[in-house]
Structure 1
Amino acid sequence: MIAVELRKLILRPRVWLSILLLCTLPALVAILLSVSELAPPPGQGGAFLSAVLRNGALYPAAALAMVLPVFLPLAVAVFAGDAIAGEAAAGTLRYLLVRPVSRVRVLAAKLVTLGAFILLAVLMVVVSALAVGLLLFGTGAEAVGQQGAVTSLSGVTLGPVELAARLAGAIGYIVVCMLGFGSIALFLSTLSDSGLGAALAALAVLIASSVMQTLEAADPIKAYLPTNYWLSWIDFFRDPILWHNLNRGLVLQTCYIALFFAASWANFATKDITS
């Protein structure tokens, strides 16, 4: 079942279109930066943008900061919202369940495929941003004295191997965060026969969570909002790595995944499939 879903993921044109759009934004920003040679001052604008003119090896981190707040969650909401509701709208859900597999296996396959989509999207953003960054900004060897090395947010020089390890940690953390949000969209997909409706409902959750983070009245529940620790992946680029919020974010997203997968199963297992 998982192999079938993964094959559908690879062969679906709109998947690659959404990934292409995710990669396009950082590429356009890189071109504008290289032409104007004007980056925002340190502490202002997007994360890491003030440093990429000196070292393109750091541009994947800047690209992740660009796509994470809105564009990556949007792609995840559309993909996850269509997981069950899209099958129902297309009239293929009934035939999918005719196979000798349980509904929980169908949901598990959808969740694994969602995770694969998120990982694929993030990796493509990172790889394309690295290529564009090195092409337009170079490696910054003159600035830090070591080919491929970068300066961390704490002012410490990170070698290429350590930079790659920290970038891999950031990728893994972002994938878990997006999978937590995608689990909410997957649950909403089991409630509707419209993939668009499920995606819009998930985006409403995203917007509500983001708005509540700015309200003092919401302080008691901020630690439990799905978006609260999303930007903590930046702590991988500090020295030493600040694990406090990273660990809290991983625990929170794991709880969201478990809770909403269980809710999806509870609803989907008893749902009357008519299409």
Structure 2
Amino acid sequence: MIAVELRKLVLRPRVWLSILLLCALPLVVAVVLAAADFPPPPGQGGAFLSAVLRNGSLYPAAALALVLPVFLPLAVAVLAGDGIAGEAATGTLRYLLVRPVGRTRLLIAKLVALCAFILLAVLLVVITSLVIGILLFGTGAEAVGQAGAVTSLSGVTLTPFELTLRLLGSIAYIVASMLGFGVIALFLSTLTDSGLGAALAALAVLITSSVLETLDAAGPIKPYLPTNFWLAWIDFFRDPIFWHSIEKGLLLQAGYVIVFFGAAWANFSTKDVTS
């Protein structure tokens, strides 16, 4: 069943369209930066944008900062929201369950496909932005004395190998963060027969969480909001790495995955799919 879901994922044109749009945003921003040839003022623009003109090897980090707040969660919400609700709307859900598949197995397959989509999207954003960054901004060999080396947020020079490891850590963290949000959308998908409705409900959760983070009155619940530690991946680019927020973020997302996947299973296992 997992192989079937992965094959469906790869063969869906809208999946590749969403990934193309995710990769297009960093491309547009890179072209604008290269044409202007001056970085955003301090404190303005996305993270790392002020440094990429000196070293394009750091552009993947800037690209991740560009797609994470809105565009990547939007793509995840649409895919996850359509997971069960989309099958129900098209009438294929009842036929899937006629075969000896089992609802738990189907739900796990949907979760694996969701995780695969997030990983594929993030990896392609990183790879394409790395190519774009090096082509447009170079490798910064003149600035740090070594091609591909970058300066961390703490002012320490990172070798290409260290940069690669920190990018991989950032990718893993972002995938975990998006998976925690995606499972919320997957749960909502079991509550309705409308994939669009489930996606919109997930986006409402995203917007609500983002707004609450800006309110001092929401201080007691901020540590438990799904978006609270999303930007902790930036701590991978400090020296030494600040693990405190990263560990808290991973623990929070693990909690969301367990709670909402359990809720999705509890609801889907008793859901009437014959009507």
Q: Structure 2 length normalisation: TM-score?
A: 0.99
| Partners of 2:174 and 2:241 in 1: CA distance | 16
Partner of 1:14, secondary structure, is: helix
Alignment of 1:197-236 (within 5 A): 197-236=197-236
Partner residue, 2:35: 35
Q: Which runs of 5+ in 1 are unaligned?
A: none
Partner of 2:226, secondary structure, is: coil
Partner residue, 2:157: 157
User: Is structure 2 residue 73 aligned with structure 1 residue 89?
Assistant: no
| Partners of 2:78 and 2:200 in 1: CA distance | 8
| Partners of 1:70 and 1:95 in 2: CA distance | 35
Partner residue, 2:189: 189
| Partners of 2:101 and 2:42 in 1: CA distance | 54
Counterpart of 1:246, as a letter, is I
| Partners of 1:251 and 1:107 in 2: CA distance | 22
1:168, distance to aligned residue in structure 2 (A) = 0.2
| Partners of 2:101 and 2:151 in 1: CA distance | 51
1:41, distance to aligned residue in structure 2 (A) = 2.6
Partner of 1:83, secondary structure, is: coil
- CA offsets per residue over residues 203-246 of structure 1, 9 Å max, x none? 00000000000011100000000000000000000000000000
1:258, distance to aligned residue in structure 2 (A) = 0.5
Alignment of 1:245-260 (within 5 A): 245-260=245-260
User: Is structure 2 residue 102 aligned with structure 1 residue 102?
Assistant: yes
| Partners of 2:98 and 2:56 in 1: CA distance | 52
- Provide runs of 4+ in structure 1 moved above 6 Å: none
| Partners of 1:38 and 1:273 in 2: CA distance | 57
1:98, distance to aligned residue in structure 2 (A) = 1.1
| Partners of 2:40 and 2:240 in 1: CA distance | 25
Q: Structure 1 length normalisation: TM-score?
A: 0.99
Alignment of 1:121-136 (within 5 A): 121-136=121-136
Partner residue, 1:111: 111
Counterpart of 2:57, as a letter, is A
Partner of 2:101, secondary structure, is: coil
1:44, distance to aligned residue in structure 2 (A) = 2.5
1:39, distance to aligned residue in structure 2 (A) = 1.3
| Partners of 1:55 and 1:170 in 2: CA distance | 19
- CA offsets per residue over residues 238-263 of structure 1, 9 Å max, x none? 00000000000000000000000000
| Partners of 1:172 and 1:93 in 2: CA distance | 32
| Partners of 1:231 and 1:137 in 2: CA distance | 25
> What is the aligned-residue identity percentage?
76
Partner residue, 1:175: 175
| Partners of 1:244 and 1:274 in 2: CA distance | 48
- Number of residue pairs matched? 275
| Partners of 1:188 and 1:39 in 2: CA distance | 41
- CA offsets per residue over residues 19-53 of structure 1, 9 Å max, x none? 00000000000000000112113333210000000
Superposition CA RMSD, Å = 0.7
1:147, distance to aligned residue in structure 2 (A) = 1.1
Partner residue, 2:55: 55
Partner residue, 2:17: 17
| Partners of 1:164 and 1:219 in 2: CA distance | 35
Q: Which runs of 5+ in 2 are unaligned?
A: none
Partner residue, 1:142: 142
| Partners of 1:35 and 1:6 in 2: CA distance | 40
| Partners of 1:38 and 1:185 in 2: CA distance | 40
- CA offsets per residue over residues 150-203 of structure 1, 9 Å max, x none? 000000000000000000000000000000000000000000000000000000
| Partners of 1:94 and 1:155 in 2: CA distance | 58
1:274, distance to aligned residue in structure 2 (A) = 2.8
1:101, distance to aligned residue in structure 2 (A) = 1.8
| Partners of 1:38 and 1:99 in 2: CA distance | 60
